[in-house]
Structure 1
Amino acid sequence: MDKLWAHLIKVQPDPHPWVVAVAALVALVIVGFRMPWQLSRGLITIAHEGGHALMALVTRRKLEGIRLHSDTSGVTLTRGRPTGPGMVLTAMAGYLAPSLLGLAAAWLTEQGRITLLIWTVLLFLVCMLLLIRNLYGALILLATGGAVFALIMYAPAAVQQGVAFVAVWFLLLGGIRPIIELQQKRRRRQARDSDADQLARLTILPGGFFVFFFFVVAVTAAVFGAYLMNPL
């Protein structure tokens, strides 16, 4: 156990500035262009639904399961009071989760804890797999977890570091785009059951307020995360 803990918390040397810059550019291309975004958006959905699930557990709601769909949508099923702070926080956590997870990951990379970050991601995926209630969701989590496990077992430290920085940038930037897409759908009245509209029904505040709140948090997390990872 001592050797395992020492392995997990070992500190990697600071990356070259070009590694951070290239990782940011790669993540920007993935998030900014339609085709790579459609292929990778499911990873943001995993973080989104994981945020709902984690907050449901924190607020002591009964978590019944998670479903991930091939159209990159998802749903987290909980039981408990249909109103109240627990329901509000659970509904609020989804759109905030990718950005806040990205910020936490940026802090770990700034500390040089790349190994700890990758193992934490793998543990997160395993926990979600135990909660999945549909076949597609199980397959996508197994594929993602398998890729992370292969990275741990076979990739050299430099490759792990580069992939980790791409993943962190992807969470930070990818946490913003779904919020913009949400508002676009709301303008076309295509998202009547979105998290923002559910929160509007649970509180006295309009759905637009929550979209704005999600956006401010996501942008703030991206800016602060970029500051943490700035090698200069």
Structure 2
Amino acid sequence: MRQESVQSFTAELWERIVDGLAQGVPPVIGLPGLIGIVVAAVALSIPRRSWRYFGLFVTVVHELGHVAASLLTLQRVTGLTLRLDHSGTTTSMGRRDWRSRVTTFSGYPAPAVVGAALPWSAAHGWAGAALSVGALVLVAALLLIRNGQGVLILGGSAAVALGLVWFGGEEPACYACVVLGIALLVGACRDWVKVTRVHTRGRRLDSSDAHLLATSTGVPAAVWLALFAVVISLALVLSLRPLISLVVV
């Protein structure tokens, strides 16, 4: 009986994931709703207590940015490590040429890029699809985890994502996408400030993506930090139009 219940739940969850892939009609959030969403996003990404947990999800997106870049440049991803101190490591195999540099660069911009994509999805009726695809990616990424803390962090992220799919409809999915999108954009800015401070103080540089890029290319880390900032800033600008489109004054 218990096995039948699990199978029934799994089948229904899968059905909801598949149903979420269809395009819907984006709801009108309105200015009061947008203000509430911004407040919720800031509550996730600004206070130290909430950042202690939401920052782990930002790290997940950061590392999955490395994973995506590795796969797109035809490298083999061999493992993913996540830690409770908001650090992470993605290991891959391939030629140490431009491909590895693209992979290394992709981490810090990833939360901003995803953060900009989520409001766009909400504004064009693809909020459910964004949540469904996100949940599937997080579940699939569990196959790459190589440490216990990573299982806890990524497993928790996947559980929340599946929960959003399970309890969501078109309107809740839209709100969830916009909240997560804004929070990820703020998180990307926070992480960029953090890594910039690391370089300013000259501490823990060995684990910095900008330092690794500088070492492999001879281009100063400051240039790579500036390029991170350019991509993050562009994502912030691109997120404004879909957010405005959801507001009716």
Q: TM-score, normalised by structure 1?
A: 0.91
Q: Secondary structure at the match of 1:66?
A: strand
Q: State the one-letter code of the partner of 1:102.
A: G
Task: Give the superposition deviation at 1:157.
Answer: 4.2
Task: Give the superposition deviation at 1:205.
Answer: 1.3
> Paired residues, what number?
231
| 1:10 partnered with 2:23 | yes
TM-superposition CA deviations, 1:114-144 (whole Å, max 9, x none): 1111101101101211111111111222222
138-147 or 24-33, which deviates more: 24-33
- Which of 180, 194, 198 lines up with 1:185 in the alignment? 198
Task: Give the superposition deviation at 1:56.
Answer: 0.9
Contact 1:52 1:91 in 2 (8 A): yes
- Report the equivalent of 2:173: 160
Q: Secondary structure at the match of 1:94?
A: coil
- Which of 194, 214, 217 lines up with 2:228 in the alignment? 214
Distance 1:16 1:55, change over 3 A: same
Q: What is the RMSD of the two structures over their aligned residues, measured on CA atoms? A: 2.1
- Report the equivalent of 2:66: 52
Q: TM-score, normalised by structure 2?
A: 0.85
Q: State the one-letter code of the partner of 2:32.
A: W
Task: Give the superposition deviation at 1:20.
Answer: 2.2
C-alpha separation in 2, matches of 1:172 and 1:51: 14
- Which of 199, 203, 219 lines up with 2:217 in the alignment? 203
Contact 1:49 1:76 in 2 (8 A): yes
Q: State the one-letter code of the partner of 2:199.
A: R
- Report the equivalent of 1:226: 240
Q: Which runs of 5+ in 1 are unaligned?
A: none
1:128-143 alignment to 2 at 5 Å?
Answer: 128-143=141-156
Q: Secondary structure at the match of 1:202?
A: helix
C-alpha separation in 1, matches of 2:119 and 2:171: 17
108-117 or 149-158, which deviates more: 149-158
Distance 1:68 1:111, change over 3 A: same
**Percentage identity across paired residues of the two chains:** 27
Q: State the one-letter code of the partner of 2:217.
A: T
